[in-house]
Chain A
Amino acid sequence: MIKEEISKEKLLWMYETMVKIRVHEEVAAELFAENKIPGFVHLYVGEEAVATGVMANLEKEDFVSSTHRGHGHYIAKGGDIKTSMAELFGRTTGCCKGKGGSMHIVDLDIGELGANGMVGGGIPHAAGAALGMKLNGLDNVAVAFFGDGASNQQNFHEGINLATVWNLPVVFVCENNGYQISLPYSKQQIINSVAERGKSYGIPAVSIDGQDVMAVYEVAKEAIKRAKNGEGPSLIEAKTYRFRGHFEGDPVVYRTKKESEWWKENKDPIVNFKKFLLEKNILSEDDCALIQKKEEEEVKEAVKFAESSPWPKKEDIVKDVFSTSTKGVLVWEW
């Protein structure tokens, strides 16, 4: 499984990050059910290994573009869950001051280009950040996260093609969770893997078990190294599964309970990684319990912060539309 030694510190970070995402999402589900979080919420439960395995290779200065299912990317990239939780609640202390919500959580200061409500919309954004890095002579990389549904969209094809012809330091990571909302992958494409499309762009592409955080880590490491060496983009398909519905409130009529139970029982990325860490004596059961408790506390703190935060003010509606003020009327109100 491990091709090279990974520091204990990194393994620990990976486990903690996955647990943090899981706890965050399960709490978010409860809060949504209690009508405390408005709007659409798409949770990352079951897919934690993908964001974590990739992000374990990244630095703060590297950029990632995310999706509508973006909490995991934000957390793994180092986002502050207090401000993202406040954003989910629509409060003024939120990372978007209550103007974006779950589908737009962002932190540009840590290289998080934002969750994105449009499927595939963020794919070229990562390539754009990569172009910026290249022209500024930076030794950094950008990663675009997207789902299987997005791999049918123009931004996937155009973004990857442009990134290859311009040889940009970017890695494209497809989180193939098997369903485009309800449409199974087998009815989206007649090929067996999104990675098969890499060949048509002339780039390395590989399909891996997205539930195995070490496998994700290893393959992302290789792709990032290529990108930084000036060898251009790579495509990674991480086969994964969302344990919950497409959105909170999804009746999930399009897949069998048997299928999702099988994934939960056999392919839970946190359970399997924990087993591995226990076997290798990297962590003990007590350590794991402590980590669980720590993350629960942190999420609880975030919820407390969010709930006690003020709502935005009415006058905030017309703020933040533009950066550069001008003469004349910019934001129209009759």
Chain B
Amino acid sequence: MGMVREITFSQAINEALDYKLSTDKKVIMIGEDIGKFGGCFGVSAGLFDKYGSERIYDAPIAESGQIGIAIGAAASGLLRPIFELMFVDFFGVCMDQIYNQAAKMRYMFGGKAKIAMVIRAAGGAGGSAAGQHSQLLHSIFAHLPGLKVVVPSTPFDAKGLLISSIEDDDPVVFIEHKGLYAVKGPVPEDPQRIPLGVADVKKEGKDVTIVATAAMVYKSLEVAAKLDKEGISVEVIDPRSIVPLDENTIVNSIKKTGRLVVVDEDYPRASFATDIATLSVAKCFKELKSPVKLVTPPSTPIPFSPMLEKEWIPSVEKIEKAVREII
């Protein structure tokens, strides 16, 4: 195999969108400033020029109406819309359409509706964007039955998972961490699909299991590399999708290492982090050698000041400390 070129996380998503727009006439995009402007973060750059206003719907600020239109288009079986929610934080103005409509339609209609749509949303802290533009929020979508929830960490995963999400017949919430948009990584030019529900072991290890999502994967790998030199072997698992969840890979790893640290950027209560911690207790109680550690932000809104925000986001130091405490 030859060298795989490196592109950014943002370009990888753009390629997935481009691929599906070019191969499936039913695929359209709806979102704010996704036309000439190319999206608030430039992710859809060039797509409007290539596919035009019949495929790329540059929308007024009316998220509930936009998602509702995407749902109707999907339910009718006539289209497979991709809706871009500029910031995942904005789910508050359109959540009814997401969780009462898109998520429940199939079930409430006795399995007769297919809501084949993707909600792409930018999330994540680190840019001093304060409390309303910095959240990740995957836990809240995972809490509600009927939604698939994908939180990729690498450009490779982002492309493969987005293609699978667009080809999936269910509503998928695809959360893109803003801090990763510029991260580069190897991504094949071919449209390689990555199935939902398959975790990726980003690094193998035998002493401690870290389950981490999105930007936290990189920080966890940094800690793992450092501790490796001291002979502490850390396994880093990125579930990639929260719903479906690759329970087996996580459970098997915890059984192998006997130790679990969950590192997540979402709020700590009733969360993805507590969910994985509960899983370890419910399914690996006998194998656990030490208390489960959770490295998350505190349950506060996200502060604006760079000094405060830096402290709020789980740091490499905090992850390292958590691992050392249970070794």
Contacts and interface: CB of A to CB of B under 8 A. Distances in A.
Contact of A162 (B66, B77, B107): B66
Contacts of A334: 282
B65 A161 contact: yes
A162 B79 contact: no
A142 B148 CA distance: 29
Contacts of A245: none
Contact of B73 (A100, A128, A159, A319): A128
Given A65-B72, A94-B110, A124-B65, A324 B168 contact: yes
A324 B148 CA distance: 10
Contacts of B79: 128, 131-132, 135
28 contacts: A95-B110, A100-B108, A100-B109, A106-B113, A108-B75, A114-B108, A121-B101, A124-B67, A124-B69, A125-B68, A125-B75, A128-B71, A131-B69, A133-B78, A155-B65, A158-B64, A158-B66, A161-B65, A162-B62, A319-B111, A320-B111, A321-B106, A321-B145, A326-B148, A327-B195, A327-B244, A328-B196, A332-B245
A106 to B, nearest CB: 5
Size category, B interface = 35 or more
Contacts of B72: 63, 65, 113, 124-132, 142
Interface stretch (B52-60, B303-311, B315-323): B52-60
Contacts of A322: 106, 146, 148, 170
Interface string B115-157: 1100000000000000000000000000001101000000000
B114 interface: yes
Contacts of B76: 63, 108, 111, 113, 128-129, 132-133
B111 A129 contact: no
Interface in A44-69: 63, 65
Contact of A125 (B71, B146, B168, B248): B71
Given A327-B195, A330-B244, A108 B74 contact: no
B110 A97 contact: yes
Scoring A99, A129, A319, A328 by chain B CB atoms within 10 A of each residue's CB, the highest score goes to A328
A190 to B, nearest CB: 24
B75 A113 contact: yes
A159 B69 contact: yes
A233 to B, nearest CB: 12
Interface of B: 28, 54, 57, 59-60, 62-79, 81, 93, 96-97, 100-101, 105-116, 145-146, 148, 168-170, 195-199, 241, 243-248, 282
A289 interface: no
Given A118-B96, A129-B75, A106 B109 contact: yes
Contacts of A319: 111
B79 to A, nearest CB: 5
B170 A104 contact: no
Given A100-B110, A121-B97, A319-B111, A328 B68 contact: no
B108 A155 contact: no
A128 B197 contact: no
A319 B108 CA distance: 11
B68 A108 contact: no
A121 B108 contact: no
Contact of A104 (B109, B145, B246): B109
A323 interface: yes
A36 to B, nearest CB: 20
Contacts of B145: 321, 331
A38 B59 CA distance: 41
Nearest to A159: B65
A108 B195 contact: no
Contact of A320 (B60, B67, B106, B246): B106
B169 A324 contact: yes
Interface string A128-160: 111111011010001000000000001101110
